[in-house]
């Protein structure tokens, strides 16, 4: 019957219609008439449906359960242990360092006391310096050795002090340096005097031409001169320098003095020979006087170094 009316089950032609497009609403007219809203605004207000999301299916989330899934408690525990161990180690190192510093300071004070005990014998040894001796006394050698050893020990212990004991380390270093300088000056001065004293005595030269032949006279003067030159040329620098310079000047004059002496003997001129010997003796006497003065200055310098070191040691040991 459908077919008789012109309908078929499968249409030979299919039609599609576009989706209707909603017309844009006209712009709202916000014009008021007699203080009332316009009819256009009323129509839009009444025909617009507000689509709000439904809140009826909202449920609170169990945050604790989620946190339990994300937080790794074993890892936190490990880090807590590590941090605790580091902190404990830092405290232990700090305490141990503090104890080590205190121990080092006690060692320095002990070394300072030992050094201080050697200073009085050292002062006595310095006072015993005598240009008339031809050998360094045992007193000087032993006292200088004791002070030298104690000074080096103080140096070593002071090097162990931490920066918190900078003042004490400075005092210890100063005291050790001063006493080492004192012992060095003492032994060098004593050795200098022992070496130079024998050649400051004029040789016993015969001035009568009839009592000595020219060859023997030349040998006597030459032997003494050779010894003098050898001693002066080997004197150390920086020790009693004015004396060394004076002796070097005498050495430059010896050639002329020796020639005058031998010429007097050769010419049977006893007065000329005596004058040459007198010139030599006068030059050596002036050197001796200078030596005595410089030796006293050396003693004073040594004692000043010792006294300065003593002050530093007193400040260090209290």
Radius of gyration for the chain, computed over Cα atoms and rounded to the nearest angstrom: 56
Asked whether the predicted pLDDT for residue 1 surpasses 50, the reply is no
Residue 191 confidence class, pLDDT cut points 50, 70, 90: very high
CA distance 185 to 96: 42
Among 301, 94, 29, which residue's Cα sits nearest to residue 184? 301
Mean confidence (pLDDT) of the chain: 81
More confident residue, 170 or 27: 170
- Predicted local distance difference test score (pLDDT) of residue 133: 82
pLDDT in tens, 225-236: 999 999 999 999
Asked whether the predicted pLDDT for residue 4 surpasses 50, the reply is no
Tokens of 275: 């004058």
- Predicted local distance difference test score (pLDDT) of residue 99: 67
CA distance 41 to 29: 7
DSSP state of 160: T
Give the percent of the chain with pLDDT over 70: 69
CB 180 within 8 A of CB 174: no
Task: Please give the average per-residue pLDDT across 95-102, as a whole number.
Answer: 61
In 61-119, beta strands by DSSP E: none
- Predicted local distance difference test score (pLDDT) of residue 12: 46
pLDDT in tens, 196-227: 998 999 899 999 999 999 999 999 999 999 99
CA distance 102 to 98: 6
CA distance 125 to 138: 9
Give the percent of the chain with pLDDT over 90: 59
Q: What is the full DSSP assignment across 217-233?
A: HHHHHHHHHHHHHHHHH
Asked whether the predicted pLDDT for residue 16 surpasses 50, the reply is no
Residue 30 confidence class, pLDDT cut points 50, 70, 90: very low
- Predicted local distance difference test score (pLDDT) of residue 104: 87
Q: What is the full DSSP assignment across 48-68?
A: PPP-----TT-----HHHHHH
- Predicted local distance difference test score (pLDDT) of residue 7: 41
3-state helix, strand, coil in the chain (%, to 5): 70, 0, 30
Residue 96 confidence class, pLDDT cut points 50, 70, 90: very low
Buried b (16+ CB within 10 A) or exposed e, 197-229: bebbeebebbbebeebeeeebbebbeebbeebe
pLDDT in tens, 236-276: 989 999 999 999 999 999 999 999 999 999 999 999 999 99
pLDDT in tens, 34-88: 445 455 555 655 565 555 555 555 555 555 555 555 555 566 666 565 665 565 4
Among 189, 281, 255, 196, which residue's Cα sits nearest to residue 231? 196
CA distance 258 to 214: 12
Asked whether the predicted pLDDT for residue 187 surpasses 90, the reply is yes
Asked whether the predicted pLDDT for residue 159 surpasses 80, the reply is yes
Please name every residue paired with 33 in a beta bridge, in sequence order, or none if there are none: 36
CA distance 268 to 210: 8
- Predicted local distance difference test score (pLDDT) of residue 17: 43
More confident residue, 97 or 237: 237
In degrees, to the nearest 5, what angle opens at C-alpha 127 toward C-alphas 228 and 155? Answer: 100
- Predicted local distance difference test score (pLDDT) of residue 3: 44
């Amino acid at each position: 019957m459908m077919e008789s009316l012109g309908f078929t089950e499968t249409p030979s032609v299919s039609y599609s219609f576009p989706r209707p497009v909603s017309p844009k609403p006209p712009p709202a007219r916000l014009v008021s008439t007699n203080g009332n809203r316009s009819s256009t605004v009323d129509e839009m207000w009444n025909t617009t449906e507000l689509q709000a999301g439904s809140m009826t299916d909202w449920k609170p989330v169990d945050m604790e359960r989620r946190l339990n899934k994300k937080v790794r408690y074993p890892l936190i525990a490990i880090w807590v242990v590590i941090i605790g161990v580091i902190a404990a180690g830092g405290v232990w190192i700090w305490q141990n360092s503090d104890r080590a510093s205190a121990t080092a300071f006690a060692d320095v004070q002990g070394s300072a006391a030992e050094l201080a005990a050697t200073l009085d014998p050292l002062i006595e040894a310095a006072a015993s310096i005598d240009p008339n001796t031809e050998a360094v006394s045992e007193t000087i050698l032993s006292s200088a050795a004791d002070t030298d050893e104690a000074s080096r020990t103080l140096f070593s212990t002071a090097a162990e002090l931490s920066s918190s004991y900078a003042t004490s380390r400075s005092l210890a270093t100063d005291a050790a340096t001063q006493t080492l300088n004192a012992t060095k000056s003492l032994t060098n001065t004593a050795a200098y005097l022992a070496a130079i004293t024998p050649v400051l005595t004029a040789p016993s030269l015969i001035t009568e031409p009839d009592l000595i032949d020219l060859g023997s006279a030349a040998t006597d003067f030459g032997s003494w001169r050779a010894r003098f030159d050898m001693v002066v040329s080997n004197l150390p620098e920086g020790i009693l320098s004015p004396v060394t310079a004076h002796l070097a000047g005498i050495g430059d004059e010896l050639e002329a003095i020796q020639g005058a002496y031998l010429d007097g003997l050769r010419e049977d001129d006893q007065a000329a020979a005596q004058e040459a010997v007198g010139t030599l003796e006068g030059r050596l006497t002036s050197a001796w006087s200078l030596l005595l003065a410089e030796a006293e200055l050396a003693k004073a310098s040594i004692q000043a170094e010792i006294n300065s070191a003593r002050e530093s040691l007193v400040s260090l040991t209290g």
